[in-house]
């Protein structure tokens, strides 16, 4: 099985400690330029939260021409990753994602991720974010993704304060912008839903973060069931955010060829499916968000994520009006993606 930059046969901690040996580019093509939150960029291509585990990962991919770099999601306390396996190659079918007999290639890689949203201790990641900020170059920006950690017997106010605490630490450590990861389980409801689907709670979190830190705030969202829900949620959240990042992933049951869960352990029946086969769903949601912005619903940055596994797809979402195209799976399995993106100007893509 091809490993890509992240060794799927090794633990999260091992991958954290062993940054990949990435290819070198002798002469990186100049980017087409871009702009985000007042920062001039070499290009509008970047990496979503996930692949960039620490400053060494950030530095390696920055040198390859990815210009919007998102430091993997961090917490206010250490949390270990789930046991192996954490990543499986899958086929995204109608009812569930099924383990693929052989990994797809040619820009069609789709994987299921079951890591458990791990994080190093704050003392570790705060120092490391500073290193990451120092190691990126001109025309590049660093976004830090943060998530709140529910406390045992804690209430909503406790969780909101924890989100704000992490955001403040990230901003103090040098983040150019902070991504608030709302595409995570809402701990206060019996029926499973994500925090961004609990609009009052999501709005309170963003309000607290926005009034706590002085750098731009991004709301990271998942998939919506209807365009109306997307519009109503974005409209409610827009006053407290500078932009939206979507789509985080598609939550699916992941099964092996016998119909049993592919990831063992409590709470791992479902996993985040990402990669090429999510593009149809993700791009439709981005298009809806862009359409509402064009209609004047609100003026916020839109960073497109989800299944952008070819240069053509990246150019397409930017041509539609997205402020940045962020890849994740493509960066892991195709580190030279940014170099090819820079070689292809938007006008050259039919």
Torsions phi, psi for 315 (to 5 deg) = -65, -35
Q: Which pLDDT does position 350 carry in this prediction?
A: 37
pLDDT per position as a tens digit, 34-78:
999 999 999 999 999 999 999 999 999 999 999 999 999 999 999
Q: What b-and-e string marks burial along 210-233, b requiring 16 or more CB atoms within 10 Å of the CB?
A: bebbebbbbbbbbbbeeeeebbeb
pLDDT value of position 19:
97
Please, which residues have CB within 8 angstroms of residue 296's CB and are 6 or more apart in sequence?
none
- Find residue 219's DSSP bridge partners: 180, 244
Residue 345 is predicted with a pLDDT of: 65
The pLDDT, as a whole number, for residue 94 is 80
Give pLDDT, residue 105. Answer: 72
Per-residue pLDDT of the chain (350 residues; tens, 9 = 90+): 346 899 999 999 999 999 999 999 989 999 999 999 999 999 999 999 999 999 999 999 999 999 999 999 999 999 999 999 999 999 988 889 999 988 777 678 999 999 999 999 999 999 999 999 999 999 999 999 999 999 998 999 999 999 999 999 999 999 999 999 999 999 999 888 999 999 999 999 999 999 999 999 999 999 999 999 999 999 999 999 999 999 999 999 999 989 999 999 998 999 999 999 999 999 999 999 999 999 999 999 999 999 999 999 999 999 999 999 999 999 999 999 999 999 886 554 43
Quickly tell me which residue has 């789509």 as its tokens.
247
Identify the pLDDT of residue 1. 39
User: What does the alpha-carbon distance between residue 203 and residue 168 come to, in Å, rounded to a whole number?
Assistant: 17
**Residue 305 and residue 326 in contact, taking contact as beta carbons nearer than 8 Å:** yes
Q: What is the pLDDT of residue 348?
A: 47
In order of their start, the domains of the chain are 37-348 (3.20.20.70)
């Amino acid at each position: 099985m091809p490993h890509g930059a992240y060794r799927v046969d090794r633990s999260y901690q091992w991958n954290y400690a062993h940054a990949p040996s990435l290819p070198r580019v002798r002469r990186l093509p100049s980017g087409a330029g871009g702009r985000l939150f007042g920062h001039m960029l070499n290009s509008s291509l970047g990496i979503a939260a996930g692949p960039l585990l620490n400053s060494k990962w950030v530095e390696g991919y920055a040198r390859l021409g990815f210009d919007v770099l998102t430091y993997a999601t961090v917490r206010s306390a250490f949390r270990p990753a789930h046991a192996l396996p954490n990543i499986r190659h899958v086929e995204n079918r109608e009812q569930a994602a099924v383990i693929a007999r052989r990994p797809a290639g040619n820009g069609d890689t789709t994987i299921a991720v079951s890591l458990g949203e791990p994080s190093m201790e704050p003392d570790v990641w705060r120092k490391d974010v500073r290193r990451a900020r120092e190691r990126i170059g001109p025309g590049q920006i660093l976004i830090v993704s943060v998530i709140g950690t529910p406390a045992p017997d804690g209430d909503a106010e406790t969780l909101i304060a924890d989100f704000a605490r992490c955001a403040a630490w990230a901003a103090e450590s040098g983040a150019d912008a902070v991504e608030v990861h709302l595409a995570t389980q809402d701990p206060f409801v019996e029926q499973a839903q994500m925090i961004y689907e609990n609009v009052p709670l999501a709005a309170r979190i963003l309000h607290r973060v926005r009034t706590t830190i002085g750098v731009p705030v991004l709301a990271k969202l998942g998939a919506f069931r209807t365009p109306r829900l997307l519009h109503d949620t974005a409209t409610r959240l827009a006053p407290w955010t500078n932009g939206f990042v979507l789509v985080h992933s598609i939550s699916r049951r992941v099964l092996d060829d016998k119909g049993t869960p592919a990831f063992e352990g409590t709470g791992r029946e479902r996993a985040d499916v990402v990669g090429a086969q999510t593009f149809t769903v993700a791009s439709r949601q981005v298009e809806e968000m862009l359409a509402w912005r064009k209609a004047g619903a609100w003026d916020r940055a839109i960073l497109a994520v989800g299944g952008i596994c070819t240069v053509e797809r990246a150019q397409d979402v930017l041509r539609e009006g997205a402020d940045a195209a962020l890849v994740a799976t493509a960066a892991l399995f195709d580190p030279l993606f940014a170099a090819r993106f820079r070689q292809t100007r938007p006008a050259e893509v039919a």
